[in-house]
């Protein structure tokens, strides 16, 4: 197998955003990850204050501008979020596939955003709000490592074997 095709156990960060919580979708969203054999190794609920929001979205303003950052920050600070660290083979790509495109109207049916979210990019611009797309998922290995470290102390991450791991190892 080529080196770029090696499947490795990874950890990634997922945030259930305030819109997921106010709509009561937390359990349904988490079950999608567990159904895909991703293991929850860290979980917490947190309100993102201004300082923490700036740390999490440290480069958003530079990449997409102050307006996008401000809309995103306001959206993320309107309610608590549930932060998860998920672990599994190719966890980052698997989570991204389960979540779907950033813009829900572009996300395929069968993805979290395609099935449960409704806002388009044009719709968010029209109402002057951030895209309500239910979840955040780390985009790559570097981002995942940085985000997991920001959100969780080492003693908040847990090692254990799932039933599937017990029977396959």
* pLDDT at res. 6: 67
* pLDDT at res. 121: 77
Question: What's the CA gap between 80 and 23, in Å, rounded?
Answer: 12
Q: Is the pLDDT of residue 35 over 90?
A: yes
- Structure-token match 């109207």, residue found: 105
Question: What's the CA gap between 14 and 88, in Å, rounded?
Answer: 13
- Structure-token match 């069968």, residue found: 110
What is the span of the domain harbouring residue 82? Answer: 3-168
Helix (H, G, I), strand (E, B) or coil at 46: strand
Helices (H) and strands (E) counted in the chain, each on its own, are 10, 4
Tokens of 70: 């401000």
- Structure-token match 């923490």, residue found: 52
Question: What's the CA gap between 7 and 106, in Å, rounded?
Answer: 28
pTM of the predicted protein model:
0.91
* pLDDT at res. 60: 93
At 49-67, the pLDDT tens digits run 999 999 999 999 999 999 9
Q: Is the pLDDT of residue 108 over 90?
A: yes
Question: What's the CA gap between 69 and 73, in Å, rounded?
Answer: 6
The total number of structural domains that make up the chain: 1
CATH label of the domain that carries residue 11: 3.30.70.141
Beta bridge partners of 154: none
Residues marked active site are found at 136
pLDDT band, very low/low/confident/very high, at 1 (cuts 50, 70, 90): very low
- Structure-token match 């599994």, residue found: 88
């Amino acid at each position: 197998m080529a080196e770029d095709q090696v499947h490795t156990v990874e950890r990634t960060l997922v945030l259930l955003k305030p819109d997921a919580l106010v709509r009561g979708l937390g359990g349904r969203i988490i079950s999608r990850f567990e159904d895909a054999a991703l293991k929850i190794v860290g979980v917490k609920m947190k309100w993102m204050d201004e300082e923490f929001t700036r740390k999490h979205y440290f480069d958003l303003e530079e990449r997409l501008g102050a307006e996008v950052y401000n809309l995103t920050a306001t959206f993320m600070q309107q309610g608590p979020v549930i932060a998860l660290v998920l672990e599994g083979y190719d966890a980052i790509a698997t989570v991204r596939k389960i979540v779907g495109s950033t813009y829900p109207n572009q996300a395929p049916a069968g993805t979290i955003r395609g099935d449960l979210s409704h806002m388009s990019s044009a719709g968010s611009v029209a109402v002057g709000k951030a895209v309500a797309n239910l979840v955040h998922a780390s985009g790559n290995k570097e981002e995942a490592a940085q985000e997991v470290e920001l959100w969780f102390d080492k003693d908040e991450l847990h090692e254990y074997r799932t039933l599937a791991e017990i029977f396959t190892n």
